[in-house]
A and B are shown apart, each in its own frame.
Chain A
């Protein structure tokens, strides 16, 4: 690696992967609870398993983003990180706080956890994805502010590139929009309104900037294409992301009690939301197609291309599938939403973090690329996880369409639970697809320990 301080990225990446494993285990538990309702009850009730599954996802992606930034920024800024010690200190704080929160979810009843952690002082808990206790939320703010201070200072003292600027913009946006998680008005309409300012403006706003910056960085490194060419694409992508994504928030205002005009604004702008993801796919294919050299890290190139394709399918196509208000009137909150959520998170954010880990980890371990056998196993992991996720999405989509019909369209509509009984076949198939995904993840883990063959030495 070019700068010693880039090494602080390594523990972040390791923690991210560890929490990723936890997330998938809880996903498998929940998948089984859809079929066998009292599986692991009362030790791990469904609502707790779901909370752990989604919270672990968010936390490990944040670890991944931070690790990525600590790796990328010194190289982009051409200077050492402002404070590697601060980065390591914040890592341990974040890891311990995150682990305690998960243990709290699992061992303490949620309402007791709320009482213990100051929710009566400022009520912020109980909202999907933002279930974290107040002290954890404050901890996240402290860690992220320290992280942004460190990263911003590094950029300010060194070279400013479009890639690092877009990354910084995304990361600052992430921090600023998280602040709305502290605002929890009594009025449920307003509560939902601002809740989406965190959830939507993260994943369909500022996170896209982070994703584009990460992808651009890796593509510059593995293709050798001129930075100016890649930067031009980057500008187009972030413009499309912000123009469509910000007003696209309106697709969450359809049925929460907001004015009716949001059905138009939300439908039109969110119908355009596939465009940035489409541009990213074209961008990734384009750059890899015109590369000036075969990079020895073939696995990283595969992850980069996969990110483009899967993000477009999951976030773009599956998002569009149910984003128009007249369609969403029927599909809202069904398994179609779950299908979209799974593929979009995997395609856009899981894969981009795995892309940067795949590129950076060998370098952090002193080589440009892993030995051939390790890369082959990693590519197996890529295909098993990606195909597994495609099947999860397809089965959930099928379940969702049937659910919508039986529960909402049929002349003799069924109750929610009676409908669930009719979806068991798809839930079983989804669970097996999840097992396939997990096998892929295990291959991914093993690939880090595979020796043999010749590793490509890192450049000096």
Chain B
């Protein structure tokens, strides 16, 4: 099935809306509504994971899986740094804050790249955390 896409040079958002929504929810989860946006993303994924458009499937799968791994990476290691170092240790704060800021910012910037690809109707794979190939 061939899918007609709007001209990217003339339209503000030529990509498929569900793919854009998935990437937007990925970013909202990181920046505005952590947890709630993740739940919305999971619902979106479950509802549209068999969508006819491969681009929609690609972005849904990439964002959902990266969200899970990214969240684990962010929370577990941050908690680990404080548990191992202790809250009363200034170095826990130095390393913990820098680690969290670094990983969190990196995920946001990757999300921006993903959103930009979705808006322009292109596929995207999150480096390291994103699944290597899309099935179905």
A229 touches B9 (CB 8 A): yes
Specify which chain B residues have a CB less than 8 angstroms from the CB of A302 in the assembled complex. none
Is B115 on the interface with A (CB-CB < 8 A)? yes
A397 at the A/B interface (Cβ < 8 Å)? yes
A446 to B10, CA, bound (A): 40
Number of interface residues of B (CB under 8 A): 26
Would B116 and A313 count as touching, CB distance under 8 A?
no
* Interface pair A398/B94, CB less than 8 Å apart: yes
State which residues 145-188 of A face B: CB under 8 Å: none
CA distance A402 to B12 in the complex (A): 45
Q: Are the CB atoms of A281 and B112 closer together than 8 Å?
A: yes
Contact A401 B10 (CB under 8 A): no
Q: Find chain A residues with CB under 8 A from B97 CB.
A: 321, 397, 401
Cβ-defined contact, A290 with B31, below 8 A: no
The answer to whether A317 and B101 have CB atoms under 8 Å apart is: yes
Shortest C-beta distance, B102 to chain A (Å), equals 8
A286 at the interface (CB under 8 A from B): yes
- Residues of chain B within 8 A of A34, CB atoms compared: none
Q: Is the CB of A286 within 8 A of B98?
A: no
B82 interfacial contact with A, CB 8 Å: no
Residues from 19 to 54 in B contacting A, C-beta threshold 8 Å:
31
Cβ–Cβ contact A289 & B9, under 8 A: no
Asked if A402 contacts B90 (CB within 8 A), the reply is: yes
Q: Are B93 and A401 in contact (CB under 8 A)?
A: yes
Q: Are A290 and B8 in contact (CB under 8 A)?
A: yes
Chain B residue numbers with a CB within 8 Å of A321 are 97, 101
A309 at the interface (CB under 8 A from B): yes
Query: Assuming A317-B105, A402-B90, is B11 touching A285 (CB within 8 A)?
Result: no
List the B residue with the shortest CB-CB distance to A405: B90
Residues of chain A contacted by B91 (CB below 8 angstroms): 402
How many residue pairs between the two chains, A and B, have CB atoms under 8 Å in the bound complex? 67
* Contact call B112/A285, Cβ cutoff below 8 A: yes
Interface residues of A in 269-286 (CB under 8 A from B): 274, 278, 281-282, 285-286
User: A225 interface residue, CB < 8 Å from B?
Assistant: yes
Is A394 interfacial (CB 8 A cutoff)? yes
- The answer to whether residues A394 and B113 also contact, given A226-B10, A229-B11, A401-B93 and a CB cut-off of 8 A, is no
Q: Which A residues are CB-close (under 8 A) to B104?
A: 317
Question: In the complex, A286→B115 CA distance in Å?
Answer: 8
Residues on the A chain within 8 Å of B112, using CB: 278, 281-282, 285, 312
Asked if B75 is at the interface of the complex by the 8 Å CB criterion, the answer is no
Whether B119 and A286, one on each chain, are in contact in the complex, defined by CB atoms closer than 8 angstroms, is yes
Contact A290–B117 (Cβ < 8 Å):
no
Q: Do B113 and A226 touch (CB < 8 A)?
A: no
Query: Which residue of the partner chain, among B12, B101, B113, contacts A285 with CB atoms under 8 Å?
Result: B113
Q: Is A11 an interface residue (CB 8 A)?
A: no
- In the complex the two chains form, what is the Cα distance from A290 to B115 in whole Å? 13
Q: Let me know if B109 is at the binding interface, CB within 8 A.
A: yes
Instruction: State how many angstroms separate the Cβ of A168 from the closest Cβ of chain B.
Output: 24
Q: Which residues of B contact A398 (CB under 8 A)?
A: 94, 98
Query: What is the minimal beta-carbon distance from A68 to any residue of chain B, in angstroms?
Result: 25
Complex CA–CA separation, A232 to B13 (angstroms):
11
A-B contact pairs, 27 of them (CB 8 A): A224-B9, A225-B9, A226-B9, A226-B10, A229-B10, A232-B12, A233-B12, A281-B112, A282-B115, A282-B116, A285-B113, A285-B116, A286-B116, A309-B109, A312-B108, A312-B109, A313-B109, A317-B101, A317-B105, A317-B108, A321-B101, A397-B97, A397-B98, A398-B94, A401-B94, A401-B97, A410-B90
Would you list the 3 A-B pairs with minimal beta carbon distance, nearest first? A405-B90, A285-B116, A290-B8
